Amino acid sequence: VRRVKAIDGSLMSGPWLLLAACGVPAASALGFAELGLCPQFSSAATQQAWHRPTQIQQQAIPAILLGKDIWAEAPTGSGKTGAFALPLLQRLLQEGPQRHGQNGIRTLILAPTRELAVQTAETLRVLGDARGAKVLTLHGGVSINPQLRSLSGGADIVVATPGRLLDILNSNGASVDGVSTLLLDEADRLLAAEFAFEMDSIIERLPPAGVRQTLMFSATFPFKSRPRAASLLAPSFVRLSSGNQCGLAALAEDGAAVTQTGGAAVGPRLRRRATNADRYASAAPPATIQQRAIRVDERDRTPLLRHLIDSEGWARVLVFVGSQKRAEHVVTKLAKAGYAAAALHGGLSHEVRTQRLRALRESELRVVVATDLAARGLDVVGLEAIVNYELPRSTADYTHRVGRTGRAGEFGVAVSFVTSTGAANEAHFELIESRHGGMHVPREIVAGFEPKAIDRLFGTAGEDAAEDAAEDAAEDAATLLDEADEADETGKARVVGMVQVPGVQHSSLGLAHDRMHGGIKGRRESKKDKLRKAAAARKQPRSGIMPNMCCQ
């Protein structure tokens, strides 16, 4: 085993460093016991049908047992929960009872949604069964009083959503000044702007970085979240990455520094040099997920969905839409057609959301139509398919949506509906592809659902108008994705430079360059120009025969 220097100059060694090294697949090299887990937790893993540790588990478990700060990125369904749950429980068992005051917390796990918090806490309870660990779940949507009472005497592990935890801290219902380990599950989401106030308020009450152990896990880490993530970690944190890219910088000769640098290295110069591709890039979904993209008119999406459910024989399917209203609308149509379907979104009570997730897991529901509330972290064992009825706004959301299927080595199908109009258009999907390492999903047309939107919109005038529409759609899609992925400090959206629209002539520098410097729009009339010309012609005095506008 090679010995390597950390950033702080200390020598680190052990199998976890070797397994974390670039390009060293160790899926069959070690079992859970060889990673440092005691027989109790090795047995607990086996009881969950985790027969061999996954790559991220082989990397993370020994590092967490050593007390290292971890920044871990691994594909959906790769066993991230097991990667942190097993070593955290073992450390608590080895340390013994150490309550910090009457309502102190030893290990704090934050999750962005109630559903993920409940799921993670249940996994911890199952793995820690009969081992005396007190695991509590704190989230909104239910009365706060039972949660306050449960905190009496403190807790070994608290799994919480930021909003509810902050409410409890503000009411002096819990103390976090003695937290020894902080874990952010779906870290990139927790570090986004929507949680900024809650996260800042919680973190300032915790012991500082370097005193506490900090662990971050997610399938995606957009560029904008990286400086914030690094600032919460100790300077010698270890960055692990499984399946996406090499988590450590290199493994050259003995003594080479291979741990990636801490927060100080993620500075303005790095940010300025990064390209848009770097900023928005996400790893392609796992190979266990078959990705499909079907061209269809917007009005035909629900009939096509019914056709796919029946023809493919899906026993359970999770359908993603962009709004609560759309979810209820699609469910109404499916229910009228005789499908056992229900909506899942933030407008529902916690009890209803929990009941519907349980019904999906137990196959009482065949179809659940959900917003992105269900895109993060949820594990529905054996889910055969997901459908992007409407495309997600951001690259990361696409990664997390499709990752609800094809988990833990099982096969799954992810279908995206690509329409000719609206946010789910061709150009939007092409940008999602480009930001997943240039992946390409072949377009399909299903017999009986051939798209006719271009013909209906433009008639036989067609090609020029269609090109105009495609170009405008590409520009709108670029802006939409950039706004969703990141707005820079001045609030201006960034635009990817090398967007290409099939069938439209571009300069060698791509659509964004053409848009800035005239380009194709400067070389031929746009649809708006043609409409303005037609309107001007109508205002002119009649002289002879009115020109046939359809022929111009």
Q: Dump pLDDT digits (tens) for 44-89.
A: 888 888 888 989 999 999 999 999 999 998 888 888 999 999 999 9
pLDDT at res. 525: 65
Q: What is the CATH number of the domain that holds 40?
A: 3.40.50.300
pLDDT in tens, 300-351: 999 999 999 999 999 999 999 999 999 999 999 999 999 999 999 999 998 8
Reading the block at residue 510, the tokens are: 């791509």
270 & 294 share domain:
no
445 & 476 share domain:
no
pLDDT at res. 29: 59
**Does residue 24 sit within a domain?**
yes
Burial of residue 159, with CB atoms counted within 10 A of its CB: 0-12 exposed, 13-18 middle, 19 or more buried: buried
Q: How far is CA 176 from CA 79, 165, 180, in A?
A: 28, 10, 9
106 & 168 share domain:
yes
Find out whether 127 and 79 touch, Cβ atoms under 8 Å. Answer: no
Q: Which residue has the tokens 């608290």?
A: 158
436 & 417 share domain:
yes
pLDDT at res. 359: 94
Below-70 pLDDT ranges, the chain: 1-29, 97-101, 130-131, 243-284, 422-424, 437, 453-528, 538-552
**Does residue 514 sit within a domain?**
yes
Find out whether 284 and 403 touch, Cβ atoms under 8 Å. Answer: no
320 & 356 share domain:
yes
What are the residues whose beta carbons fall under 8 Å from the beta carbon of 544, sequence distance 6 or more?
none
236 & 141 share domain:
yes
d(CA 223, CA 57): 24
**Does residue 83 sit within a domain?**
yes
242 & 329 share domain:
no
Domain boundary at 398, 433, 451, which? 451
465 & 434 share domain:
no
Domain count for the chain: 3
Beta partners for residue 181, in sequence order: 107, 213
Reading the block at residue 21, the tokens are: 């090294």
HEC states along 78-97?
A: CCHHHHHHHHHHHHHHHHCC
pLDDT at res. 510: 47
pLDDT at res. 287: 78
Spell out the long-range contacts of 194-199 with Cβ–Cβ below 8 A and sequence spacing 24 or more.
195/112, 195/162, 198/162, 198/163, 198/165, 198/166, 199/110, 199/162
123 & 172 share domain:
yes
Domain boundary at 430, 451, 472, which? 451
Reading the block at residue 542, the tokens are: 């009649």
Q: Which residue has the tokens 């005193």?
A: 211
**Does residue 280 sit within a domain?**
no
Q: How far is CA 62 from CA 34, 42, 450, 488, in A?
A: 9, 13, 53, 37
**Does residue 548 sit within a domain?**
no
CA 179 to chain centre: 27
**Residue-range definition of the domain harbouring residue 470:** 460-543
CA 237 to chain centre: 23
**Does residue 467 sit within a domain?**
yes
Beta partners for residue 104, in sequence order: 175
Q: How far is CA 341 from CA 352, 362, 363, in A?
A: 14, 13, 11
29 & 119 share domain:
yes
489 & 408 share domain:
no
Find out whether 79 and 149 touch, Cβ atoms under 8 Å. Answer: no
**Does residue 19 sit within a domain?**
yes
95 & 188 share domain:
yes
Find out whether 377 and 405 touch, Cβ atoms under 8 Å. Answer: no
Domain boundary at 424, 451, 478, which? 451
d(CA 17, CA 3): 9
End-to-end CA distance of the chain: 76
Find out whether 159 and 111 touch, Cβ atoms under 8 Å. Answer: yes
Q: How far is CA 308 from CA 35, 290, 390, 441, 543, in A?
A: 44, 15, 16, 18, 57
What is the pairing mode between strands 155-160 and 105-110?
parallel
Find out whether 447 and 521 touch, Cβ atoms under 8 Å. Answer: no
**Does residue 549 sit within a domain?**
no
d(CA 145, CA 35): 41
